[in-house]
Structure 1
Amino acid sequence: MQIGAVLALSLIIIVGIILLVSCSENSSKEDKETTWNEEQSSTTKEVKETTDGLTSAEVDTTTETTQPETTVPETTIPQTTPQPEETTTRANNSSSNNSGIKKLHVSGIHLVDDAGNVVVLNGVSTHGIAWFPQYVSKETFATVKDSFGGNVIRIAMYSDPNAGYNQSLHAKVEEAVSYATELGMYIIIDWHILSDGNPNTYKNEAIAFFDKMSAKYKDYNNVLYEICNEPNGNISWSNDVKPYAIDVIKTIRANDPDGVILVGTTTWSQDVDIAANDPITGFSNIMYTLHFYAATHKDWNRQKLVDALNKGLPVFVSEFSICDASGNGWNDVNSGNTWMALLDQYQISFVGWSLSNKAEAASIISSSCNKISGFSDNELTESGAWLVNQLRRH
């Protein structure tokens, strides 16, 4: 009996110990699971807070890396958005200088990009910036690009002191280049010979000006140099304009080895056929300018263009309108349309005259409109409305 009692007591003690150990393990497991759940909850919260702390741009960037390009609407991507390969090939340019703008070259009769694709520039020219400086503004240029559909601005700086030239205008030219560059547009720096006739009259001033501009903009893909607007009077191509052009081109090339240079021709830049018989040699990326006013210049002038092109001369129409050659008179829409068909046929770049509200037929903006941007169609002149329609069509 005694032995049986002892055994029973021992059995009770052993069972008690087993139950005590089991309860301790369950309690430890519950505590561990509670701790793990709390850690997971804390981690999830931290991840959410980190995601919530991202800017919308960062979230979009993260999302875009996992989405195919086809899911992004084309309209959300500006045409001037730089591609990675363009960014790396322009490492020497600051981002403000390059803005994704394609480097241009002259090949045959055309402007082309690095891949050899034909590039057609079309846009507008200012009037003399000494008289209409208000249109040298980012807002105006943005209207030309976004509303009119242009991709180039021509800055007309008259070269004759009696026509408004002074060195203070250089700053206005530089301002124009900065706006065009910010907007991803091309820009033509125009030494606007007109009343001075012979480009050699102010050749020293032209050389100094283009030395300054080409040194400043040698790394800009969007800058073109127009070195003599409309040579005219008792001068010739071979004896006057061509020697002048060679001297100015040498100056530019000392700074900018491959920027595109536009050379005016005699008779107010109509004689491209004459230049085609005696072109400038020894330099690349040279083009020759043709100007026309459609109510005056018709089949005879169009034939001069065709003759020059057939001889391989690269031509750029850097000024035109549909009125007569005085900048006034009537607008010959039919002749203008014939000209445009010819330019389209040969893929020729063109710039219309003029971005101003001067009271004359060639002005784009109505003389009653004092706005500098956001022009409605009824604030344009007849020739301005026609030109804007041409730009939008391209």
Structure 2
Amino acid sequence: MKTSLLQYRCPRNILVFRALPVAGMLCAVPALRALRAACPEARITLVGLPWARDFTRRYPGYVDDFVAFPGFPGLPEQTPDIPAIPGFLTELQSRRFDLALQMHDESPLANAVAALFDAGANAGFRAAGATGSETDAFLPWPAQGSEIRRLLALTDFLGAPRQGERLEFPLLAEDMQALADSGQADDLPPGGYICLHPNAGAAGERWPPQAFAAVGDALHAATGLPLVLTAAGSDAGHAVQQALHTPARHGQAPLTPGTLAAQLSAARLVVSDDQDIAQLCAALHRPSVTIFRATDMERWAPLERELHPSVWTPPGFAADEGIAEVLRQAEALLARDQPARLRARA
């Protein structure tokens, strides 16, 4: 297999292996768009985590089919369902894919898993310095840059011209219905509330609840807009709710990605410390400020910095300085179409 293959002899049956959480999947959308434009007649099957099953309905122009990945020992994204792995591999092998495209990451294990799919050819990422007979079909993993551009580097390498870097997250009718059924949007006018999402995964990545509360109280005082805690059911959300002086709406049950997206899509502003929410807001084109503490900000911050600024506040960073910078960015976003009182403060 040679690079630029997609320009001249597109495979008819393509498997894309990308089994990651929300941010990782959203960042792959521009690469999937480029792949589809290069191979418009191909059948593209996504192998991903179970949550991404609705990709075939949400992105019908880019993905034709979906197979849930049961996990694999050594891959950290989910606990592997060991009994399900043989049947999963048998199913994929029976489909006789022309190409298995490993877009998961640069790990040798990810490539080894993709090789088990028994496609006619394999391509994707490899670790820098890796050798072997097929390295001409594998791009060394870019050590720097945003996740979106790293993935686009792979489709460039394979000969699929870029179709833009924009993110998308099409909302489905059932997303809006699920939000209505949850009660989380009752009496909230579109563009008339501020979402706080304190829910970064690892404890070392979380912004202190007192800092979130200080930002929420200040933004409510400046705008009068109600606050909504979208990290429903999380310990981080409860901690921020307890620290707030301003009453905030906080659901008890976690929302699905689609329902959460429906809630965020009508927010005036979103403040979070979660890279999944950062990329979801970018895909929804909702103004947002994201706090990064340990996660690689260059890799996971949204590309459109004007509408989605990010603030670096690592552990040990002065809390008052972090709060002040988050407020500065948030108020600048709000001041773009808010009353003169807020514009003057920003």
TM over 0.5: no
Instruction: Tell me the TM-score normalized by structure 2.
Output: 0.32
If each structure's helix is expressed as a fraction of its own residues, which one has the higher value? 1
Task: Give the greater-gyration-radius structure (CA).
Answer: 1
